[in-house]
Every structure is written in structure tokens, then in C-alpha cells.
Amino acid sequence: MALNEDAPWGDLTSQTLIPVDARASAALIARESGVFSGGSVFAAAFTLLDPVVVVEVQVPDGAAFAKGDTLATVMGPARSVLQSERVALNFVQRLSGIATLTAEYVALVAGTTARIVDTRKTTPGLRVLERHAVRSGGGYNHRFSLSDAVMAKDNHLAVLTQDGRLSVTEALRQVRASLSHTTHLEAEVDRLDQIEAVLAGGVDTIMLDNFGLTDLRRGVEQVAGRAIVEASGSVNLGTVAAIAQTGVDVISVGALTHSVRALDLGLDVTMTV
């Protein structure tokens, strides 16, 4: 889709400027340090357009690299290399940016029991790639889609209990009874006094949403191992270490995918006729 979007009727510039028999070699160079992700996608951007192009990825996904390192090489018909260049870079720069940011978060919670996980705040159509990049950076994935688990958030619970016929506990118990034993049930709370009612509903995970540090510690103590405890909201590089120290099991970070900066990588191309 990306290749078709970028050149729906071919690369007019290369077709008019570059001789048909010209060949090119290129090197993917790191212009800053980071963590690599997206090697197979980078290669596919060239080989899907032209199977004759040869791509050799020098570092595996998840590997750290330094400024100036060569991450991959490309050889083939010059027109094909030039046409694929931007699409290949767009993918590998974004995915490596996600992996690098994730690795920063993971390093800040080292020594605690907390896992860094992503959210569904991904670029539409690119979720599988962006979540792979989170894993490249040492993070973990939350549910992949709305089809994978039950997550009862505040709006869901408000609808279920709005007429007063069901309590939160009763509503969650009904949900639990309707689910397969393999299906995970998570519920969100935003106050300490909601925790017991949610736990009584039989949840597997309880999300403490936008809790301060003191209340996070109290929440972990109150849950006391009866469910997985997830912290969400107001998580950034400046707050994540302190959140991890409260004893939560999971810290979900939307910024891993929705606010990431593309890493500065460049493709240096040399052409021969």
C-alpha cells in the first residue's frame, strides 16, 4: 500500500533522469544512536518493488547501535533503489524510533516488577509493525484489538449500572460467567473505594487509572495479589520510575506509539552506469 501510494504510476523523476541500465548501491547509516527495528520491512520495501534488488540487514531487530553505524546495505537497479528509498526509510525510522523510546522506558523500570506495555493508540493499519517495534525495545504488548480481551472501562460500567438494577460487582460477575475460561477480564477504576467491588466481580486485571503515587501504593496493597495491577495515565519518562516503584505489575504507555519521534537514519546512495 505504501509503495502504491508513493508511486501510483511509477517514479516519474527516476524514469526521466536515470538510465534504465544504471545500478546503485546504498547504505543505511545511523545519524544518531538508538535501537533497531524494522529490518524485514526495510528490505521488503525494495524487494516487493523489484525482486532483483539485494538487501543485507547488518543488525538484528532489538540491537542497539551508535551514530555512524551501517545498519543495512542495498544493491540493484538504480531506478528501483531510488523509488523505494523513501518508503523504506519511513518505516525503519518510525519503527526504530518506537524501539528506542521503549528501551528508554524499560531501562527506567529496571530492578522493579513492572512491565512496560503499549496500548491501542497506534497508527491505523500499522499496529502489527508498531507493536513489533515495542517488543524490539524490550517492552510488551497489551491486547492487540478489541476482539482479544474484555476491558471494562468507566464508560462501559456506567452504561451497565445506569438504571440501578445492577451493581458493578453484579455486572462484572455476569460478564465473567459469559466468558470462556481462556478469556481475560480487566476493569478500570479511578478511585481506591472502587477496588473491592471490581475485585469481587472476578477480574483478572485491575487498571488504576490516573492514580497519584500514594494511591498507587495503597491500591497495590489493597489488591494484595488478587489480580494483576496495571497503572495507566500520566506516564512519561519523568514519572515512570516512580510509578514502577509503587509495586504495580504493568505500566501502559500510549506515548510509545502515538507520540514517538522518527529516528534519524539516512540512505546514502552511490550510482554507477
Query: pLDDT tens, 43-61?
Result: 999 999 999 999 999 999 9
Give yes or no for residue 136 having a pLDDT over 90. yes
Q: What is the DSSP letter of 69?
A: -
pLDDT of residue 273: 62
Give yes or no for residue 245 having a pLDDT over 70. yes
Cell of 120: 491501542
Predicted confidence (pLDDT) per residue in 199-239, tens digit:
999 999 999 999 999 999 999 999 999 999 999 998 999 99
What is the percent of the chain where pLDDT is above 70? 100
pLDDT of residue 216: 98
Cell of 63: 540491537
Nearest to 157 by CA among 119, 212, 194, 196: 194
Cα 202 from Cα 249, distance rounded (Å): 18
* DSSP characters over 233-249: SS--TTTHHHHHTTT-S
Residues whose CB is less than 8 angstroms from the CB of residue 105 and which lie 6 or more positions away in sequence, other chains included: 116, 137, 139, 237, 240, 251, 253, 256
Give yes or no for residue 84 having a pLDDT over 70. yes
Beta strand pairing call for 205-209 and 185-189: parallel
Q: Is 94 exposed, middle or buried (0-12, 13-18, 19+ CB in 10 A)?
A: buried
Indicate left, alpha or beta for 41 from its phi (over 0: left) and psi (-120 to 50: alpha): alpha
Options 23, 86, 173, 176, the catalytic residue: 86
Options 209, 215, 217, 218, the catalytic residue: 209
Give yes or no for residue 195 having a pLDDT over 70. yes
Cα 84 from Cα 142, distance rounded (Å): 32
Tell me what the mean pLDDT of segment 68-88 comes to.
97
Nearest to 74 by CA among 58, 61, 90, 60: 58
Beta strand pairing call for 228-232 and 250-252: parallel
Q: Tell me, yes or no, if 209 is annotated catalytic.
A: yes
Options 186, 188, 230, 249, the catalytic residue: 188
Options 23, 120, 127, 153, the catalytic residue: 153
- Crossing angle of helices 78-108/127-136, nearest 10°? 60
Higher pLDDT, 152 or 64: 64
pTM, entire model: 0.94
pLDDT of residue 158: 76
* Single-letter residue type at 9: W
Q: Please, what's the b/e burial string for 1-39 (b: 16 or more CB within 10 A of its CB; e: otherwise)?
A: ebbeebbeeebeebeeebeeebbbbbebbbeeebbbbbb
Q: Tell me, yes or no, if 121 is annotated catalytic.
A: yes
pLDDT of residue 154: 79
pLDDT of residue 127: 97
Q: Tell me, yes or no, if 67 is annotated catalytic.
A: no
